[in-house]
Every structure is written in C-alpha cells, then in structure tokens.
Amino acid sequence: MIFLPTQSLILAGVLFAIGLATVLVKRNLFFVLMGVELMLNAANLSFVAWSRTFTGSAGLDGQVAPLFSIAVAAAEACVGLAMLLAIFRSKETLDTDRFDRMKE
Amino acid sequence: MTNLLWLLPVLPAAGFAINGLLALAGSRRGEGPDRGIVGFLAVLFPVLSFLLTVALWWNLSEATEMVRGQSELLGVKLQAPAFAQTMGDWIRVGDLSISFGFRFDKLTGIMLLFVTGIGSLIHLYSIGYMANDRGFARYMAYLNLFLANMVVLVLGDGPVVTFLGWEGVGLCSYLLIGFWHHDESNGSAATKAFLVNRVGDLGFLVGVFLLWQIMGPGSSLTYEAISAWFRDPAHLQQLAMPGVATLLTLSTVFLFVGCTGKSAQIPLLTWLPDAMAGPTPVSALIHAATMVTSGVFLLARMADVFVAAPFTLHLIAWVGALTAAWAAVTGLFQHDIKKVLAYSTVSQLGFMFLAAGVGAFDAGLFHVFTHAFFKAVLFLGAGSVIHALSGEQDIRRMGGLVRKLPVTFAAMFAGWYAIVGLPLGAGFWSKDMILERVYVHGGIGLYAIALGSAVVTAVYMTRMMILVFWSPSRVDHEVAHHIHESPPSMQIPLWILGVGALSVGFLWADMIHLDWFSRQLSDVVGAAQASLAGDAPGHGPSPWLLASFGVTAAVVGILVAFGLFRSGYFRENGREPMDYRARWWMLAFDGLHTLVGIWPATVVSWVLDTWIQPLLMGLLRIFAWLVEVAGSTLRLLQRSRLRTNMALSVLGLALLLLFLARELL
C-alpha cells in the first residue's frame, strides 16, 4: 500500500503559512526569527513525508536530510540570536520598521 | 649565407635592446651606465651588420656574374639574381595576402652598404660627440634602433614591409630630434617632423593600395611581383584604359606624396630644417645621409610603375627642380651652420628627384650615394666645429678656424669641394650626370633651373666656408680659449668620409668610361629606363660640354661668394632680425601648411568645440536624466520596510512558481 502524505503535507503547509505570516506580520525581530524556524520545520516535515512515499519504510534518504537541516538551523538560530543581541545593543530596539538606514 | 638576411636588421635591433636596457638600468644613477661598454656595443652591432652586408654583396656579385655568363652563353636574358627570404604570412585579409620577407638585390645592396657603413662611422663619431651627455646610452639605443628600421625599409621585399621601416625611421627621427627634450622648442620641432611625415605616410599607404587595386585583388604585393606585372606586355592594354590610367596616376602621385614627406620635397619640406634641433650626428645620419634618401630609393624601387605614369614623372621632375632652387636660395641667408646644411640637403634631394623625374633613376641613386658621403662629412665637420666652439652654431660668430681646426677644415673642404661640383670630386660626377640626363630627357627649362641651383649651391656653400674658416675670427673671447680639435673617435670618421667625398665619384665616371655603379643598377632600373628612353630624343651635346657648364656654374658661384665677401656683404656681425623678404621666402611653405593644414583644422576643431560638443553633451545629459528617472521610479518598489520587501519577494516567488507549474503540468 502506498502511503499518501496528504495529512502530513497539509500540516506542513499550515506550519509554513503560519511561519510566513509570522515573518511578514510581526515587527519584532525575535518573532521574525521564530517564523523562519517554523518555515524550516515545515520543510523538514515535507521531506520526511515524501521520503516515506517514495522509498517506503526501509529508505532513510529523505529522513537524513532533515537531520542536517536541523543541525544547520540550530547553528543559524545561534548566529541569528547573536546578531539580534548585537542589533539590540546598538539600536535599543528590535522593531524591524526602524531599521531603514539603507533607504538612501 | 642567403638565409642570414634576417640578421641584418636584427643585429642593430639587438644593440638597441641591450643599450636600451642598460640605459633603463642605469637611469637611477647620476652618471648613467658605463660609456665604454655602451659605446662599444653601439658601434659593434652596426659594424657586424655592415660586414654581413659586404659578404652578401660579394656573394650576390658572384652570382650575378655567373648568371650573366650563362645568359651570354644561351643568348637569352636571364633574370638577375637576388637573395630573398620569406619569414611567413604577415597580413591575410580577404583577397589581400602580404608575406613578411626580405629581398637583397643590387639596389638594396648599394643602399645597405652606405646605410650600415656610414651609419657605423657616425655611431663611432657619436661616442666622441655625445661623451659628456647624460643620456648617452639612450642616445646610442635610439641610433641603433634607427639603423635597424632603416635596414628593414631598404631590405623589405614589398612596399608594406618597407612601410614598417618607413614608420620606424620616422619614429626614431622624432625621438632623436626631440632628444634634448628639456628645451620645449626641440620637442615641437620633433612633433612637427612627425606630423608632416604622417601626411606623407598616409600618401604612401593610399598609393600602395591603389596600386594593389590596379593589379587586381589576389596579386601579391612584393616588388618582384609589381615589377613583373608592369613589365609584362600583356598588361599594356589594360593600363591604356582611361579608368586604369587615371587610377595609376593617382596611385603614383600618392606614392610620390609619401616620398615628399620622407625626403623633404615641396610641399612637405618644412620639417627638415627644424629637425636640426637634434644632436649633430643625428642630422648627419638621419637627416642628410640615409632616411631622407628613402624617397628616392622608393622611386627607384618602383621604377617600373613610375615609368608607366608619365604625368607623375613630369610632376616629380618639376617638384624636384623647384625644391632644389627654392632650398638653394633659402640656404643663402641662413646663419645657423646646421640650417645651411639642412637647406642644402633639401636642395640636393631636389636634384635626386629631378633625376628620377626625367627617368634617370640610376643617376638619382648615384647622387644619393655620393651625397651620403659628402653631406655626412659636412655635417660631421659642422658637428666638430660646434663641439670645438662649445656649442656655438651661428656662423656670424665663427671665422678663422682654418688654423685652429686643421683636420675638421680638411674634411669640410673635401665635402665642400664635392658638393659645389668642382672637377673630380664626388658631386662633380653625380651632379653632372644628373644635369646631362636632365638636358637630354627633361628639356631646357628644367636644365636651366638645375644649373641655376648649382650656381646658388656654390654661392651658399662657399659663403659658409668663408664665414667659418677663411674670414677673420669673430669668435667670443671666452669661447676662443677653449677651441680644441676633436677626439680621435670623431676624427677617424671625418678622414674616411672626407676621402670618400673626393673619391666615390669614380665609381661612375662616365666621361672616362668608368661605369661600375650603373652596371650594378642596370638589373633593377635598366628596363624601366630603357622603356622611357625609347620616346626621348637621341643623345644631346657632348658630355664634356655639359660638364664644362657644370664646372663653370661652380666656379661662378664660388667667385660670386668671394666677391660678395670682399664687398663686405657677408660681414654682418650683428644679431639683427632677418630681412623681411628673406623671412617671407623662407617661411613660404610654413605659411602654406598653416593655410591648408592648420587653419582648416582650427576651424573644424572650433566648430566641434562650440557646436558639436555641446550637442553631444546635451544628448548625453538627456540619457543620464532618463536613467535617473527610471532609477528613482523603480526605487519606489524598494520599500525600506523589511516586511514589505519580504512580502514582495514572497509574492514574486509565488508568481514564479505558479508560472512554472503552468508550464510543467
């Protein structure tokens, strides 16, 4: 029987949409980063789901990729938070609308 | 042996490379590189080139004798031998294919013998003359480079290879005229020489390619092929067609314009007197003995072409005669010893062109050959005088040097004896040869002008000798203390060239049946001259009679000069400006250049500056404004808000994906 990843994909889509909405709507840079994490996890989820579809329970190819992705995301979060701290120190704010010095 | 042709230009070029590097390497030090090494190398390479030329000439003469023997045996005229070497393809565009090759025949040989021979002597002379100059190594490098280019000019197997050397000698001339570039006037003299020569060079190129048009696309542009094409009777009919004849006249006139540029003939002659700003040995080598004769060389090289264009030949003869007369008269009122010699060079070149114009290419070349000797010795002698007088060039402040500079006087006396055409000197034989041919083939008008120029030549040359050597001394007291005869490196060339100026005429002394020179050239220009002599009247009066006219002209000129000196006409000691009529006469061609060259250029540049430039700038501004408007419009998309930007990029990505999905599904 072929596993259809419909539910998983719907979940991934919802997750992605929430992440995107967070990124686009939130003005706080901290929440923007959270949104990015959500989108990443949505992608991971779809990876796993499609892996199950194409390689069955035996194949692990598609399941390995999210592991790398999680590791990279961890590093990214690390750097991102560090930068966030640095920005906060110099700007005293995390409001993205105030970051407009490249306008001119 | 024959595959060593490439060495002829490469040897002096190597001298240029080594000396140039030495000059660069030593430029930081105050003194420059060691003069001994530089001087030795600078003389060594031209001498090697000269020895190689002699060896090649020897081989060629033997080969010629052999071929001549065979033709007598077989009863047919065989092609005269020549050494040729092709390095390979050079230019290949469409139908045009030009190979890079050298050709060594009798004409090339004679030119090379005196180019490298006199060139070596002048290199030797320069060691003494330039010994105290800061740019010694640079000077020697330029001189070597000049020699390399001159060899290419003479040795090229086609007009395009010749053009390479033609441009090269122009460049070296520019570099050496402006050698003392701390003086701005030297720099502008160099620029003038270069620009005037460029006009001629353009004529040369246009002429060559018109010639190629006539011969038909696909034909090869070598002297051999050109001569063969024009000698071929099958092409006579084609040449008689009006269109082709006009084209040929145009082509030869353009080639002649090229020659007038390099050889300082009317109208492109104003640069040569100004070129005297360079060091005196340069004037001797480039602006008297070798480079300026390349125009006559080219006429002889393409003799077969020129004899097919009678109009151009007439033009050449008249231009030559008028140049000879104009420059001789101008020489009369020069005060600078080098300027006197410069105008005399222009005048003598006029004689050579006159000879070529009446179809006596061999006589013209013979005058090139003898002139190289006597003008080189005159210039080197003048250099020796200038050297002795600590740089004084004004003949009004010389005089009485005959006792103080005996060697220089002897050498210059030999040169003077030759140039005025007194019996048995080199100029006597060559100038009389020209006068005779002009009388026979050119008519009485040209002959009268030429004879008149010969008289004036004797006047101004004698005037120079009187003012420099024979008159009472007018030298400044301070300078008079330092007068000294030149070092041996300057005296040796003076001796050799002085003896040459008196004796080389015997290589072709027609009246006493010595015709070595004309026999050498008969293979190259003989056919062309024979075809021209066909429609000329037979032999004129006896050569002895014409020669006596020539000698009379010289004697009259000398007597006039002495008479004018006695009557006090030359004793002008002052520094007053030149007589206005003389100035007008001298600067006539400068005025002409201003009128036809400089003023139109000024008007064009004024129009460009006041009308075209603002127009273009306006267009440019409009474009700049358009770009700016487009940029600021597009910038509206680039919101400074991070969220908006991201939303826009997500939107773009979504649209792209939609599009892709539609394409794929």
pLDDT, one tens digit per residue, over A49-85 is 888 777 776 777 788 889 999 999 999 999 999 999 9
pLDDT bracket for residue B236 (50, 70, 90): confident
> Has residue B348 got a pLDDT over 80?
yes
Q: Do residues B288 and B321 both lie within one domain?
A: no
Mean pLDDT of B1-24: 87
Q: Do residues B69 and B136 both lie within one domain?
A: yes
**Which CATH fold would you assign to the domain A6-98?**
Helix Hairpins (1.10.287)
Burial string for B163-191 (b: 16+ CB within 10 Å, else e) reads: bebbbbbbebbbbbbbbbeeeeebbebbe
Q: What are phi and psi of B325, to 5 degrees?
A: -70, -50
pLDDT tens-digit map of B363-382: 999 999 999 999 999 999 99
Q: Do residues B183 and B278 both lie within one domain?
A: yes
> Has residue B577 got a pLDDT over 70?
no
On whether any CB of chain B is under 8 Å from the CB of A89, the answer is: no
Q: Give me the pLDDT at residue B639, please.
A: 62
Q: How far apart are CA B384 and CA B122, in angstroms?
A: 12
Burial group, residue B502, by CB count within 10 angstroms (0-12, 13-18, 19+) = buried
Burial group, residue B72, by CB count within 10 angstroms (0-12, 13-18, 19+) = exposed
Burial string for B372-406 (b: 16+ CB within 10 Å, else e) reads: bbbbbbbbbbbbbbbbbbeebbebbbbbbbbebbe
> Domain coordinates of chain A in residue numbers?
6-98
Mean pLDDT of B53-64: 89
> Has residue B594 got a pLDDT over 90?
no
Q: How far apart are CA B426 and CA B83, in angstroms?
A: 30
Q: Is residue B525 part of a domain?
A: no
Q: What are phi and psi of B509, to 5 degrees?
A: -105, 90
ipTM > 0.90 for the complex: no
Tokens of B44: 């060594």
Amino acid at position A5, single letter: P
> Has residue A42 got a pLDDT over 90?
yes
Q: Is residue B38 part of a domain?
A: yes
Q: Give me the pLDDT at residue B574, please.
A: 47
Domain count across chain B:
3
Contact B150, B183 (CB under 8 A): no
Q: Give me the pLDDT at residue A103, please.
A: 59
Q: How far apart are CA A85 and CA B409, in angstroms?
A: 97
pLDDT bracket for residue B624 (50, 70, 90): very high
Looking at CA atoms only, how far is residue A16 from chain B in angstroms? 12
Tokens of A96: 């993205």
Q: List the alpha helices (DSSP H) in B26-135.
A: 35-74, 106-129
In a 13 Å sphere around the CA of B620, the CA atoms on its Cβ side amount to 6
Non-local CB neighbours of B595 within 8 Å, separated by 6+ positions = none
pLDDT bracket for residue B427 (50, 70, 90): confident
Domain of B561, in residue numbers: 314-507+549-575
For the ranges A95-104, B3-12, B254-263, B516-525, the maximum mean pLDDT occurs at B254-263
pLDDT bracket for residue B539 (50, 70, 90): low
Burial string for A75-91 (b: 16+ CB within 10 Å, else e) reads: eebeebeeebeeeeeee
> Has residue B175 got a pLDDT over 90?
yes
Q: Do residues B421 and B346 both lie within one domain?
A: yes
Q: Tell me which chain B residue has its CA closest to the CA of residue A28.
A: B643
Q: Tell me which chain A residue has its CA closest to the CA of residue B637.
A: A103
How many CB pairs below 8 A link A and B? 21
Contacts of A27 in chain B (CB under 8 A): 643
Non-local CB neighbours of A12 within 8 Å, separated by 6+ positions = A42, A43, A45, A46, A49
The CA-based diameter of chain A, rounded to the nearest angstrom, is 60
> Has residue B547 got a pLDDT over 70?
yes
> Has residue B538 got a pLDDT over 60?
no
Mean pLDDT of B481-490: 83
Q: Give me the pLDDT at residue B148, please.
A: 94
Mean pLDDT of B542-564: 87
Q: How many residues does chain B have?
A: 665
Among B642, B647, B650, select the one facing A99 at the smallest CB separation: B642
- Other residues' Cβ atoms within 10 Å of the Cβ of residue B141: 25
Mean pLDDT of B26-54: 85
Q: Do residues B568 and B431 both lie within one domain?
A: yes
pLDDT tens-digit map of B85-125: 888 888 888 888 888 989 998 899 999 998 999 999 999 99
Amino acid at position B659, single letter: F
> Has residue B606 got a pLDDT over 90?
yes
Mean pLDDT of B444-452: 92
The residue whose two tokens read 């190819």 is A61
Mean pLDDT of B459-482: 86
> Among B635, B638, B643, which would you mutate to test the A interface (most chain A Cβ atoms within 10 Å of its Cβ)?
B643
Q: Do residues B562 and B619 both lie within one domain?
A: no
Q: Give me the pLDDT at residue B404, please.
A: 86
- The mean pLDDT of chain B is 87
Among B640, B646, B650, select the one facing A100 at the smallest CB separation: B640
Q: Do residues B172 and B278 both lie within one domain?
A: yes
Q: Do residues B366 and B401 both lie within one domain?
A: yes
pLDDT tens-digit map of B278-315: 899 999 988 888 899 999 999 999 988 998 888 999 99
Cis peptide before B159 (omega within 30 of 0): no
Q: Do residues B296 and B322 both lie within one domain?
A: no
Q: How far apart are CA A99 and CA A96, in angstroms?
A: 5
- Map B171-194 to HEC letters: HHHHHHHCCCCCCHHHHHHHHHHH
Q: Do residues B328 and B281 both lie within one domain?
A: no
Tell me which of B661 and B28 has the higher pLDDT: B661
CB contact under 8 A, B643 and A103: no
Q: Give me the pLDDT at residue B568, please.
A: 73
Q: Is residue B137 part of a domain?
A: yes
Q: Do residues B619 and B649 both lie within one domain?
A: yes
Q: List the alpha helices (DSSP H) in B567-641.
A: 580-586, 588-593, 599-607, 613-635
Q: Do residues B49 and B86 both lie within one domain?
A: yes
CB contact under 8 A, B647 and A24: yes
